[in-house]
Amino acid sequence: MTDTSEEHQPEVAAPAEPPTMYGARRADVYGQIVLHVTREQYVPVIKQLLDDGHEMCIDLTAVDYLAFPTRTLPDGIVAERFEIIVNLLSMGARRRVRLRVQVPGDDPVVPTLFDLYPGTEAFEREVYDMFGITFTDHPDLTRILMPEDWEGYPLRKDYEVGEIPVQFTSPNPGHADRMEPRP
Amino acid sequence: MTAIVDTIRGGSDAPQGLKARSELTARELMREVGSVLRMSEADVAKLGEIPVDPSEDQTMIINMGPQHPSTHGVLRLMLELQGETVLRCKPIIGYLHTGMEKTGETLTYMQGGTNVTRIDYVSPLNNELVFSLAVEKLLGIEDDIPERAVWMRMLLSELNRMSSHLLFLATNGMDLGAVSMMIYGWREREEVLRFFQKVTGLRMNHNFIRPGGVAADLPAGWRDDILRLLDLIAPRLDEYDTLMTGQPIWRERLQGVGVVTAQEAIALGATGPILRGAGVPWDLRRDQPYLRYSELDFDVIVGSYGDAFDRYAIRLNEVRESMKLVGQILDRMPGGIYRIQDK
């Protein structure tokens, strides 16, 4: 769904001169522009992108990399537990930009994008609901999908899935004779 | 007379203040169940003396759903109303949340299709397509997908768009009072689903478009089925025009209602008919084409006012555009294998 001319290259090690965009580390994968921003750069870089015609925020989501701290990241980017992922679209340039923000597990706080993209209000509520990442200055940071009194954050990798007891493990005794091979 | 008042106000001789219906005279019953103001005129006059803040008095907050019949049981709306006008609305969602992402964590790529096809039972094939394209991109096999599979995917996507829009027309027609539209929309949708059943074995939740291609080849006689389908639906869409598009009540209920400006739609990240209804000509099939959409000829339907009527008209006409696309795909459907042979 992105550019048609793309190559399949895994994230390669950084060249001698690391490419940047708006002062953020740029590492393209699968033909998509990917910017690695710090939490301090997060809002200013997105503000610049918005001013440069990336008028739509298509998605904002998160990933819990609890079990995968050794993932490949460009040099200088320290892997943290969570990542916030923002997908921006410029309809004029027909271009998509993806931002990845490392968010530590012991301090899962990120500024809100509500003032730049009002549509992120629901996305951020979902990330809060599912991952327990807090967005400062969000107008209504409450659970969106789970019930209000739900405990825990379901999409965290250490969240117990739980199980429902299986009620019928053996053939119905009333019909046991049908399950037997006929003489 | 005092007996009646005692009954209503909870006289000592009546349990819980009400007599059994059988014991009441018709006049008493009328008085009890009818919308009679149970206050003396002096009490009412006193109420009139209470100072009222006009700004506070004019709006009302009501809860709609999740059991309200017109919400189809999946949504609750908190609405602030001024007369019939909705000033503010807060949707409360999540009633259909089943944790599909969590389920997906433990599935393989090939099992994933079974999960994502249930994300939206109205357009299962389109969801399978998106999932398959993503997996193929990650595996680096997107250029290896056989041509027949690519064109079959387009065919099924467009048919699914038709059935999805037909469902929209049916249910929204019903909700707005054009109840016969429900029957017509479902009838035509069922014709499309019947074709899906022939191809995939199921009316919905197909798991047919899979990473690497599609699950099976098109069945014998599929071309005739599609031609029959196109012949059948085209005049029916004209019937919808008669039933709804030109109909004064329908227009009154939709035109100028729920206006979304282009600026608002973009800021809120709206896509699809909502964005196009606001006058933004953005269609991924044309602007960032995937599959072989760049080789096909179709129009992007755009609205001018961003109101509910534009969003309705866009969907109706997108069914026509999809039929155009299906016709072209029919002519160009290549032969050969329908999935990657590399196991």
Which value does ipTM take for this structure?
0.78
pLDDT at A5: 47
**B339 domain residue, yes or no:** no
**Which 284-313 residues of chain B touch chain A by CB within 8 A?**
284, 287-290, 294
B14 touches A: beta carbon within 8 Å: no
One domain for residues B269 and B157:
yes
One domain for residues B175 and B288:
yes
One domain for residues B87 and B194:
no
| Distance of residue B79 Cα from the nearest chain A Cα, in angstroms | 17
**Which 59-98 residues of chain B touch chain A by CB within 8 A?**
93-94, 97
One domain for residues B81 and B123:
no
**B55 domain residue, yes or no:** yes
**pLDDT tens readout for residues B253-289:** 999 888 899 998 999 999 999 999 999 999 999 999 9
Name the DSSP letter for residue B77: E
List of residues 6+ apart from A145 with CB closer than 8 A: A126, A129, A130, B93, B94, B97
One domain for residues B162 and B56:
no
B140, B268, B288: residue with CB nearest A118: B268
Mean residue pLDDT across chain B: 85
Domain end call among B68, B92, B116: B92
Q: In degrees, to the nearest 5, what angle opens at C-alpha B163 toward C-alphas B159 and B168?
A: 145
Taking CB atoms and an 8 Å cutoff, what residues of chain A touch B268? 118-119
| Distance of residue A151 Cα from the nearest chain B Cα, in angstroms | 15
Q: φ and ψ at A118, to 5 degrees?
A: -60, -25
Out of A46-60, B58-72, B180-194, least confident range: B58-72
Classify the phi-psi angles of B30: left when phi > 0, otherwise alpha if psi is within -120 to 50, otherwise beta: alpha
B34 touches A: beta carbon within 8 Å: no
One domain for residues B226 and B294:
yes
- Quick one: CA dihedral B262, B266, B270, B275, positive or negative? positive
CB-hemisphere CA count at 13 Å for B183?
A: 5
Instruction: Give CA–CA dist B7/B25, Å, rounded.
Output: 12
Among B74, B106, B264, B266, the residue to mutate for chain A (most A Cβ within 10 A): B266
**B341 domain residue, yes or no:** no
A8, A119, A130: residue with CB nearest B268: A119
Of B205, B191, B195, B216, whose CA–CA distance to B128 is shortest?
B205
One domain for residues B78 and B110:
no
CATH code, domain carrying B143: 1.10.645.10
Instruction: Give CA–CA dist B78/A132, Å, rounded.
Output: 25
Q: What is the 3-state secondary structure (H, E, C) of chain A?
A: CCCCCCCCCCCCCCCCCCCEECCEEECCECCEEEEEECHHHHHHHHHHHHHCCCCEEEEEEEEECCCCCCCCCCCCCCCCCEEEEEEEEECCCCEEEEEEEEECCCCCEEECCCCCCCCHHHHHHHHHHHHCCEEECCCCCCCCCCCCCCCCCCCCCCCCCCCCCCCCCCCCHHHHHHHCCCC
Q: How many domains does chain B have?
A: 2
Taking CB atoms and an 8 Å cutoff, what residues of chain A touch B130? 1
**pLDDT tens readout for residues B105-158:** 889 999 999 999 998 889 999 999 999 999 999 999 989 999 999 999 999 999
Please give the C-alpha separations between residue A109 and each of A64, A69, A84, B339, in angstroms, as whole numbers.
14, 19, 10, 45
Instruction: Give CA–CA dist B42/B51, Å, rounded.
Output: 17
pLDDT at B145: 93
Domain end call among B92, B113, B129: B92
Name the DSSP letter for residue B81: E
One domain for residues B214 and B85:
no
Instruction: Give CA–CA dist A28/B225, Å, rounded.
Output: 45
| Distance of residue B84 Cα from the nearest chain A Cα, in angstroms | 26
Which pLDDT band, with edges at 50, 70 and 90, does A16 fall under?
A: low
Instruction: Give CA–CA dist B311/A147, Å, rounded.
Output: 32
Instruction: Give CA–CA dist B155/B152, Å, rounded.
Output: 5
| Distance of residue B284 Cα from the nearest chain A Cα, in angstroms | 8
Check CB contact under 8 Å for A155 and B102.
Answer: yes
3-state helix, strand, coil in chain B (%, to 5): 55, 5, 35
Q: Which domain holds residue B162?
A: 100-332
Classify the phi-psi angles of B16: left when phi > 0, otherwise alpha if psi is within -120 to 50, otherwise beta: left
Please give the C-alpha separations between residue A169 and each of A165, A172, A176, A178, in angstroms, as whole numbers.
10, 9, 13, 16
Q: Which 3 state secondary structure label does DSSP give B141?
A: coil
Report the predicted TM-score, pTM, of the whole model to 2 decimal places.
0.80
Check residues A7 and B45 and name the one with the higher pLDDT. Answer: B45
One domain for residues B184 and B44:
no
pLDDT for residue B36 is more than 60: no
One domain for residues B268 and B136:
yes
One domain for residues B106 and B160:
yes
Check residues A161 and B275 and name the one with the higher pLDDT. Answer: B275
Taking CB atoms and an 8 Å cutoff, what residues of chain A touch B145? none
Which pLDDT band, with edges at 50, 70 and 90, does B7 fall under?
A: very low
Check CB contact under 8 Å for B288 and A57.
Answer: no
Check CB contact under 8 Å for B99 and A55.
Answer: no
Smallest CA–CA distance from B294 into chain A, residue: A4
B101, B269, B282: residue with CB nearest A155: B101
| Distance of residue A182 Cα from the nearest chain B Cα, in angstroms | 33
User: Omega into B66 within 30° of 0, i.e. cis?
Assistant: yes
Of A133, A171, A128, A117, whose CA–CA distance to A39 is shortest?
A133
B102, B130, B284: residue with CB nearest A161: B102
One domain for residues B8 and B114:
no
Smallest CA–CA distance from A11 into chain B, residue: B138
* Tokens 């203040």 found at: B17
Mean residue pLDDT across chain A: 83
pLDDT for residue B225 is more than 60: yes
Instruction: Give CA–CA dist A96/B204, Å, rounded.
Output: 32
Please state whether beta strands A56-64 and B209-210 pair in parallel, antiparallel, or not at all (unpaired).
unpaired
Check CB contact under 8 Å for A91 and B94.
Answer: no
Residue B269: exposed, middle, or buried by beta-carbon count in 10 A (0-12, 13-18, 19+)? buried
Domain end call among B92, B108, B133: B92
pLDDT for residue B58 is more than 80: no
